[in-house]
Amino acid sequence: MCLRGCGCDRSGVGQGVLGLRAALLKRIAAHVGTPTYVYSADLIRNEVRQLQGALARIPHSIFYSMKANSNLSLLGLLRGLGVGVDIVSGGELERALAAGFAPDDIVFSGVGKSPRELERAVEVGVGLINLESAGELQSLRGVTEAMARKANVGVRVNPDVTIATHPYTQTGAEGMKFGIPVDEVLDIARDIATSPYLHLASIGMHLGSQIAAAHAYAEGARKLGSLIAELRGSGVDTLRSVDVGGGMAIPYGDRPGLPMREFVEAVAPVAVETGLTLLLEPGRLLVGNAGALITRVLYCKRSGGRTFAVVDAGMNDFMRPSYYQAEHPISVIGADDAAPDSLEPVDVVGPICETGDYLGLARRLPGLKPGALLAVHAAGAYGFSMSSTYNSRPRAAEVLVDGERVGLIRARETIEDLWNREEAEPQWLPSI
Ligand code: LLP
């Protein structure tokens, strides 16, 4: 029976929140306030080691996709575990450098890198720049020529593989904005070869996110394998790696995770058969289940036959429920895990003036009353990193628990932070 109030048939709360004692989470909430994201260093280490272990037989490099969670302390932790980083913007590039990543350990992905961002990437010597269009190739060509600097490039292919996930997290199907269509890759490779500054080092894909079925990876990897053969047949002999992207699903609520063994069986052949190094860009897998959002119940009320718990975290803090209808387990911290079946379902909603502002609907939660502390599970990825200040709400604090130590890794934003780049009187621009 589900004890997390998510309506699934899994038991979960027995393992608590991130394997941490309720008393500790209560102390964190009392000290740092709520809402607060709490992460477990041990759980992140476990995830990385499991992935590294599963890939042990295959030459590989893991590049953590930092859009999932780009807190500098987490980046430092991951760097220490021998992981590189996958970035998609100039801001993420500077974060990666600030966190101490060597440029060589950075892969620059993303569908629209600006000339300025490409310039900076070439200047610092990023290890690999994954191109997503002919236009972007021209942009990078211009940048490298102007700087007389070389760059390793990859081609992100759109392999036309459809995955069963939320439509907003599919990226690898035909007709989507991502990647270069298979039938254009050869021309792009020829074009790259004409530049003395560009070196085609990698071919890759990224199929989407929260992918639980390994066969999608197998299908994409097979297509990459054929392309690699075709490229080699036409004289391209510079490839060093094949990049299968990220997207590995984590289990949460009634959502299944991607079985690691099946994943490795799906992607290993393309690396083994081509003799290329396997690159991976996992985001959620490494941090998703290592984080929880801690929020406090402000009020309980009834309306139109429904019961609501109004909490102090909203869709601005955690937008996955309202944006993707994601059903993250919610539990009451320190409440008796006694069977909640007898309890009436409660909508856990935020304070924001939007009907879509909720963290969970129709949850059966024991011990729910004003002042109760709730944990929203599996919130380590795409939680804080997608948060905003909508409704002029300062963004949440972030805390890392490492063994017995508890560290603040991002202070709660202040009210002044909300407008510190605004002008109460317009700064008129006379030259425009
Ligand atoms: N590589 C590339 C090029 C990506 O665009 C992404 C994610 C990843 C790797 C990492 O994917 P992951 O392993 O985390 O699934 N905000 C959504 C997820 C969007 C992912 C965007 N790209 C969510 O909350 O589900």
DSSP letter at 140 equals H
Nearest CA to ligand 1 atom 24: 382
Q: Please give the number of the atom of ligand 1 that sits closest to the Cα of 284.
A: 14
Question: How remote is the CA of residue 233 from the centroid of ligand 1, in Å?
Answer: 33
* Any atom of ligand 1 within 6 Å of the Cβ of 182: no
pLDDT of residue 336: 66
247 Cβ partners below 8 Å, 6+ apart? 163, 206, 207, 208, 209, 210, 211, 282
pLDDT of residue 335: 85
Question: How remote is the CA of residue 209 from the centroid of ligand 1, in Å?
Answer: 5
* Any atom of ligand 1 within 6 Å of the Cβ of 307: no
Tokens representing residue 210 in the block? 């929260």
Give, in words, the CATH class of 22-39+288-419.
Answer: mainly beta
pLDDT of residue 3: 37
Tokens 């993707």 -> residue: 324
Q: Please give the number of the atom of ligand 1 that sits closest to the Cα of 67.
A: 7
Most informative mutation of 163, 207, 281 for ligand 1 (most atoms within 8 A of CB): 281
pLDDT of residue 418: 98
pLDDT of residue 173: 77
Q: Dihedral angle at the C-alpha atoms of 222, 225, 231, 237, nearest 10 degrees?
A: 170
* Any atom of ligand 1 within 6 Å of the Cβ of 87: no
Question: How remote is the CA of residue 246 from the centroid of ligand 1, in Å?
Answer: 7
What's the rounded Cα separation, in Å, for the pair 186 and 419? 49
For residue 202, count CB atoms less than 10 angstroms from its CB and return exposed for 0-12, middle for 13-18, buried for 19 or more.
buried
- Within 259-341, where are the H helices? 260-274, 284-287, 320-324
* Tens place of pLDDT per residue across the chain (432 aa): 343 433 343 434 445 899 999 999 999 999 999 999 999 999 999 999 999 999 999 999 999 999 999 999 999 999 999 999 999 999 999 999 999 999 999 999 999 999 999 999 999 999 999 999 999 999 999 999 999 999 999 999 999 888 877 888 877 778 888 899 999 999 999 999 999 999 999 999 999 999 999 999 999 999 999 999 999 999 999 999 999 999 999 999 999 999 999 999 999 999 999 999 999 999 999 999 999 999 999 999 999 999 999 999 999 999 999 999 999 999 999 986 556 677 889 999 999 999 999 999 999 999 899 999 999 999 999 999 999 999 999 999 999 999 999 999 999 999 999 999 999 999 999 999
Task: Indicate which residue of 2, 6, 8, 353 is catalytic.
Answer: 353
Residue type present at position 141: R
* Any atom of ligand 1 within 6 Å of the Cβ of 364: no
Strands 330-332 and 346-349: unpaired
pLDDT of residue 178: 87
Q: Is 300 a catalytic residue?
A: no
* Any atom of ligand 1 within 6 Å of the Cβ of 249: no
* Any atom of ligand 1 within 6 Å of the Cβ of 246: yes
Q: Please give the number of the atom of ligand 1 that sits closest to the Cα of 283.
A: 14
pLDDT of residue 11: 36
Strand ranges (DSSP E) for 350-404?
A: 358-363, 373-376, 397-402
pLDDT of residue 16: 85
353 Cβ partners below 8 Å, 6+ apart? 391
What's the rounded Cα separation, in Å, for the pair 214 and 329? 24
CATH number for the segment(s) 70-282 = 3.20.20.10
H/E stretch holding 191: helix 185-193
Q: Where are the domains of the chain?
A: 22-39+288-419, 70-282
* Any atom of ligand 1 within 6 Å of the Cβ of 65: yes
* Any atom of ligand 1 within 6 Å of the Cβ of 320: yes
Residue 220's CB is within 10 A of a number of other CB atoms, namely 28
pLDDT of residue 175: 81
